[in-house]
Structure 1
């Protein structure tokens, strides 16, 4: 039986990620950072760990927007999650972005995912 590996642009990806094991997250070819309602990182895949140079031990259990990736703490990223949570609405936005913290500037696509029912929110990182 063949397992279908979801793509960065797949429909319904928040639900797929929510149901995925750590091994399934690690098989993806894009970065996955999953965090709870308090913005504390709960899920982090191997692709993102290697690309960002941050071990899971350094990231898991830490506040995403202050300790892990303060370069995402702005109206383009963090505020969208806050607004969706306040409205109780779904979030599925893809934006062009430049990561700058601890590295030379890198152009990426970010996909911001939050379902009204899901406990985990996701920042997905596709490096070009």
Structure 2
């Protein structure tokens, strides 16, 4: 697929579902592809840059407890229990890095093979 991914694309979930893990990892914003159970299957380079967590460390781990416990709450992790999810919200990440203001986008649908956690640093001043 030659189309450049954009954080706010209306059809981003469909576009991501068509991408390989390697393509997902090249997204121009932070991106985590998880299994439906929350296990990391692809971890973007931009996400690594934002959080300081390497792809090699993240792969195969449960995202909300082993990688991003700061997102293991009702505001974020609990929303993935919904069958469909496409929500954007402002958030402060506190992974192993200094607190970082970001815009998050949470994506999944009943038809999607994966669920996605997207991070955009550019949209927050």
TM-score by length of 1: 0.88
Residue 44 (structure 2) aligns with:
45
Give aligned pairs, total. 122
RMSD of aligned residue pairs (Cα, Å): 1.5
Residue 28 (structure 1) aligns with:
27
Alignment partners' CA distance in 1, 2:36 and 2:19: 19
| CA shift for structure 1 position 50 | 2.1
In structure 2, runs of 5+ residues without a counterpart are: none
Residue 106 (structure 1) aligns with:
100
Runs (4 or more) in structure 1 with deviation over 4 Å come to none
Alignment partners' CA distance in 1, 2:90 and 2:58: 23
SS in 2 for 1:118: coil
SS in 1 for 2:64: helix
Which digits, 9 at most, give the CA deviation of each residue in 1:3-44, with x for residues without a partner? 220200001111111111234323321011011122111111
| CA shift for structure 1 position 124 | 0.3
Alignment partners' CA distance in 2, 1:65 and 1:52: 14
TM-score by length of 2: 0.90
Higher alpha-carbon deviation: 46-55 or 62-71: 46-55
Which one has the largest radius of gyration? 1
SS in 1 for 2:10: coil
| CA shift for structure 1 position 49 | 1.5
Alignment partners' CA distance in 1, 2:5 and 2:16: 9
Per residue, is there more helix in 1 or in 2?
1
| CA shift for structure 1 position 125 | 0.4
